[in-house]
Amino acid sequence: MFSFQVTPEQKLAREMARKFMRQEVEPHVDKLDNHEMPPYDLIRRFLKEVQGADEIKNLGDLEAAAAEQDFITRALVSIEVAKVCPAFALSLGASLELAGFALLYAGSREQKERYAVPIFRGDSFGAWGLTEPEAGSDVQGMKSTAARDGDSYVLNGAKTFITNAPYADTLVVYAKAPAGITAFVLERGMKGLSTGKPLDKMGMRGSPTGEIFMEDLRVPASQRLGEEGKGFYYALANLNHERAHTPCLMIGIMERCLEDAAAYAKTRVQFGRPIIQFQGVQFMLGRMWEKLLGSYAHLWMLGQMHEQGLDIAAAASAAKLYSTECATAVALDAIQILGGYGYMREYKVERFMRDAKLMEIGAGTSQIQLLILARMLMKDPPADLNPLFAGPDPFGKK
- Residue 266, domain CATH: 1.20.140.10
Rounded to whole angstroms, the Cα distance separating 14 from 37 reads 26
Assess whether 242 carries a catalytic annotation.
yes
| Same domain assignment for residues 55 and 108 | yes
**Residue range 79-122, pLDDT digits in tens:** 999 999 999 999 999 999 999 999 999 999 999 999 999 999 99
Rounded to whole angstroms, the Cα distance separating 231 from 225 reads 8
Give me the DSSP letters along 362-392.
TTS-HHHHHHHHHHHHHSSSPPPS-GGG--B
Q: 60 in a domain, yes or no?
A: yes
Q: 398 in a domain, yes or no?
A: no
| Same domain assignment for residues 90 and 139 | no
Is the separation of the CB atoms in 259 and 349 below 8 Å?
no
Tally of structural domains, the chain: 3
Rounded to whole angstroms, the Cα distance separating 363 from 372 reads 13
Q: The CATH number of the domain where 43 resides is what?
A: 1.10.540.10
Rounded to whole angstroms, the Cα distance separating 137 from 184 reads 20
Domain boundary residue, one of 70, 91, 125: 125
Rounded to whole angstroms, the Cα distance separating 253 from 360 reads 14
Domain boundary residue, one of 184, 201, 227: 227
Question: Which amino acid would we find at residue 151?
Answer: D
Cis peptide leading into residue 381 (ω within 30°)? yes
Q: 394 in a domain, yes or no?
A: no
| Same domain assignment for residues 34 and 133 | no
Q: Phi and psi for 138 in degrees, rounded to 5?
A: -90, 80
What is the structure's pLDDT at 136? 85
Residue ranges in the chain whose pLDDT is less than 50: none
The helix/strand/coil state of 148 is strand
- The DSSP symbol for 197 reads P
What is the structure's pLDDT at 66? 84
What is the structure's pLDDT at 2? 58
| Same domain assignment for residues 301 and 179 | no
What is the structure's pLDDT at 391? 85
| Same domain assignment for residues 343 and 368 | yes
Task: For residue 92, give every residue at least 6 positions away whose Cβ sits within 8 Å of its Cβ, in sequence order, or none.
Answer: 39, 43, 46, 47, 81
Rounded to whole angstroms, the Cα distance separating 338 from 275 reads 10
| Same domain assignment for residues 180 and 217 | yes
| Same domain assignment for residues 188 and 210 | yes
| Same domain assignment for residues 120 and 15 | yes
What is the distance in angstroms between the CA of the first residue and the CA of the last residue of the chain? 18
Strand partners, 214: 157, 193
Is the separation of the CB atoms in 140 and 132 below 8 Å?
no
| Same domain assignment for residues 112 and 258 | no
Q: 395 in a domain, yes or no?
A: no
What is the structure's pLDDT at 1? 52
Q: Phi and psi for 391 in degrees, rounded to 5?
A: -75, 180
- The DSSP symbol for 37 reads S
What is the structure's pLDDT at 261? 98
| Same domain assignment for residues 71 and 201 | no
What is the structure's pLDDT at 385? 77
**Residue range 382-392, pLDDT digits in tens:** 667 788 788 88
Task: For residue 295, give every residue at least 6 positions away whose Cβ sits within 8 Å of its Cβ, in sequence order, or none.
Answer: 247, 250, 251, 254, 319, 322, 323, 326, 327
| Same domain assignment for residues 246 and 384 | yes
Range of the domain at 113: 8-125
What is the structure's pLDDT at 3? 66
Is the separation of the CB atoms in 215 and 173 below 8 Å?
no
| Same domain assignment for residues 259 and 353 | yes
- Of 242, 255, 350, 360, which residue is the catalytic one? 242
CA 186 to chain CA mean position, Å? 21
Instruction: Give ∠ CA 164-166-169 in degrees, rounded to 5.
Output: 70
Q: 1 in a domain, yes or no?
A: no
